[in-house]
Chains A and B, each alone.
Chain A
Amino acid sequence: MINDINKIREDFPILNQKVNNRPLIYLDNGATTQKPQSVINEITDYYTKINSNVHRGVHHLSQVATDAVEATRKKVQSFIHAKHEHEIIFTKGTTDSINLLAHSFGKAFVNREDEVIISQMEHHSNIVPWQLLCEEKGATLKVIPMTSSGELDMEAYAKLLTDKTKIVSVTYVSNALGTINPVKKMIDSAHAKDIPVFLDVAQAIQHIPIDVQELDVDFLAFSGHKMYGPTGIGVLYGKETLLNKMPPYQGGGDMIKEVKLEKSTFNDLPFKFEAGTPHIAGEAALGAAIDYLEALGLKEIQLYEDDLLAYANKSLKEIKGLKIYGTAAEKSSAISFLIEGLHPYDVGVILDKLGIAVRTGHHCAQPIMDYYEIPGTIRATFSFYNTKEEVDALVEGINRAVAMLK
């Protein structure tokens, strides 16, 4: 339950510091979220009491480490409502997950003259791996266009789905604009033509309850560090039937059954896709992050953050000359904006001097900036530990920046 925000903020030691002699106001949660003490403790505990390699030792510590990793796999499974725990593959993060998918799915299913569909509002990490694949295979990348409100053009999408389409790879929530895409509908229309769908949920997993079986999504990826867990750990979810048809991505330890110099046989899911010693501490701590989110309740988090977003939207609109980019009806925890006549970098620098952390630039989504013909935006992204007072401070900070820069 989110009723005592001060108590929640106490769980995040980093929030209690000063930046440039002012209390830190952290509004860059879309880039990475801060970590609760329980997650930090898990990492310390792991290296203090457990550290050992997984899945290979008969000794006690190796077993404890393996148990910690597999316990997190179960937690992820239940968090996203996957049917099987071996459908949860640990990766370094969303980018790594998409590279794995593009490489391995591409090897198995994408051929010359096939098509892959992405959208105009993708993060670079959901563009470049597919571009590389298409170049290699002689396939074509098709792009769902965006409307001026920052929503996907659903009519255009319907027309792009053809018998050449091998996969649709889109984001659930736009990192740069905050748009929530109608993914259930998109999945249903793709499935009507037997096309699998991958969802980048890096900006959704921490804000919106996700049920992969209800969505019937084929693949999905997210990063631990954007959901209050550590960096360097992420997840690729895939339906068992599809994952079993895909070849391994990287070779090494843990992903094999038997290695002969002539030929090796590969391990079963999920280990087939988990070569090498994993980020064990990160996996353990991701479990702690999920525990934290589940204790608060994702529905509660969503309610609180939606209210905060509405408040920020209303407050920012009152600033003269401020234009919000991305005005979709359904948005989640992000506001991108520019102030007439001012460069986003300048505003970001002044806000930083005031202890306010926002992100400026293209947010690794240059095609969006090209669409609006702007160099970038100023982006504030919210978490459940942010408050309306912090939104007020942001507004005050922007007004001050405007006064200095105009």
Chain B
Amino acid sequence: MTINEIQDELIEEFAFFEDWMEKYEYIIQLGKELPLIDDKYKTEEYRIKGCQSQVWLRPDVEEGLVHFKADSDALITKGLVSLMVKVLTNHSPKEIAESELYFIDKIGLKEHLSPTRANGLLSMVKQMKLYAMALEARG
């Protein structure tokens, strides 16, 4: 599936939630699931510092496709991190670099990507794209 197909699928999925409670319960559930990154990678090297919560991001390339592993110390941020990873992982650097993330806005969670939130999420998305762009530039 392309990045946009995955985004559209998520938008459709979120449309079933009747209120914010259901939506957040789902995100929290995503956050509670198994650790998304091995504890040994939760180091300074992979840390994206947010004012409110921390995010760790570990990119990797395999057979020309970029894989992301990421995590957060806050559950809601972690749930959102896992959505971002779901959308952006396992694609070519070109596709990631050129992608436009519209699903967060469409599922009504835009405020979590606001710079004033300082939860590390916006910086993570920037890092993911920068990583893909660097790979793309290297060819």
Chain B residues near A361 (CB, 8 Å)?
Answer: 51-52, 118
With an 8 A cutoff between CB atoms, is A148 at the interface? no
Are B75 and A405 in contact, CB atoms less than 8 angstroms apart? yes
Are A346 and B75 in contact, CB atoms less than 8 angstroms apart? yes
In the assembled complex, the Cα of A361 lies from the Cα of B21 at a distance in Å of 23
With an 8 A cutoff between CB atoms, is B20 at the interface? yes
In the assembled complex, the Cα of A225 lies from the Cα of B119 at a distance in Å of 26
Chain B residues near A80 (CB, 8 Å)?
Answer: none
In the assembled complex, the Cα of A155 lies from the Cα of B74 at a distance in Å of 39
Are A345 and B24 in contact, CB atoms less than 8 angstroms apart? no
Are B74 and A345 in contact, CB atoms less than 8 angstroms apart? yes
Are A404 and B52 in contact, CB atoms less than 8 angstroms apart? no
How many residues on chain B are close to A (CB under 8 Å)?
16
Chain A residues near B75 (CB, 8 Å)?
Answer: 342-343, 346, 405
| Contacts known (A345-B74, A345-B76); A20 close to B51, Cβ less than 8 A | no
**A353 touches which of B24, B74, B77, B119 (Cβ 8 Å):** B24
Are B24 and A404 in contact, CB atoms less than 8 angstroms apart? yes
How far is the CB of A383 from the nearest CB of chain B, in Å?
23
Query: A12-26 CB contact bits vs B (8 Å, 1 = yes)?
Result: 000000001000000
Chain B residues near A353 (CB, 8 Å)?
Answer: 20-21, 24
| Contacts known (A361-B51, A404-B28); A343 close to B73, Cβ less than 8 A | yes
Query: A280-319 CB contact bits vs B (8 Å, 1 = yes)?
Result: 0000000000000000000000000000000000000000
Chain B residues near A404 (CB, 8 Å)?
Answer: 21, 24-25, 28
In the assembled complex, the Cα of A344 lies from the Cα of B28 at a distance in Å of 14
Query: B8-23 CB contact bits vs A (8 Å, 1 = yes)?
Result: 0000000000001100
With an 8 A cutoff between CB atoms, is A146 at the interface? no
Size category, A interface: 10 to 19
In the assembled complex, the Cα of A381 lies from the Cα of B133 at a distance in Å of 45
How far is the CB of A405 from the nearest CB of chain B, in Å?
6
Are B53 and A345 in contact, CB atoms less than 8 angstroms apart? yes
**B74 touches which of A20, A346, A362 (Cβ 8 Å):** A346
With an 8 A cutoff between CB atoms, is A349 at the interface? yes
Chain A residues near B51 (CB, 8 Å)?
Answer: 361-362
In the assembled complex, the Cα of A59 lies from the Cα of B54 at a distance in Å of 57
Chain B residues near A349 (CB, 8 Å)?
Answer: 24, 76
Chain B residues near A375 (CB, 8 Å)?
Answer: 53-54, 73
In the assembled complex, the Cα of A343 lies from the Cα of B73 at a distance in Å of 7
Chain A residues near B28 (CB, 8 Å)?
Answer: 346, 404-405
Query: A337-353 CB contact bits vs B (8 Å, 1 = yes)?
Result: 00000111110111001
Chain B residues near A77 (CB, 8 Å)?
Answer: none
With an 8 A cutoff between CB atoms, is A36 at the interface? no
Query: B109-123 CB contact bits vs A (8 Å, 1 = yes)?
Result: 000000000110000
Q: Which of B25, B51, B53 lies at the interface centre, i.e. has the most chain A CB atoms within 10 A of its CB?
A: B53
The 10 closest A-B pairs by CB, nearest first: A343-B74, A345-B74, A345-B53, A345-B52, A346-B75, A346-B76, A361-B52, A346-B74, A349-B76, A353-B20
14 A-B Cβ contacts within 8 A?
A: A342-B75, A344-B52, A345-B52, A345-B74, A345-B77, A345-B119, A348-B52, A353-B20, A353-B21, A353-B24, A360-B52, A361-B51, A362-B51, A375-B73
List 13 other contacts, CB 8 Å, given A342-B75, A343-B73: A20-B20, A343-B74, A345-B52, A345-B77, A346-B77, A349-B24, A353-B21, A361-B51, A361-B52, A375-B53, A376-B52, A404-B28, A405-B28
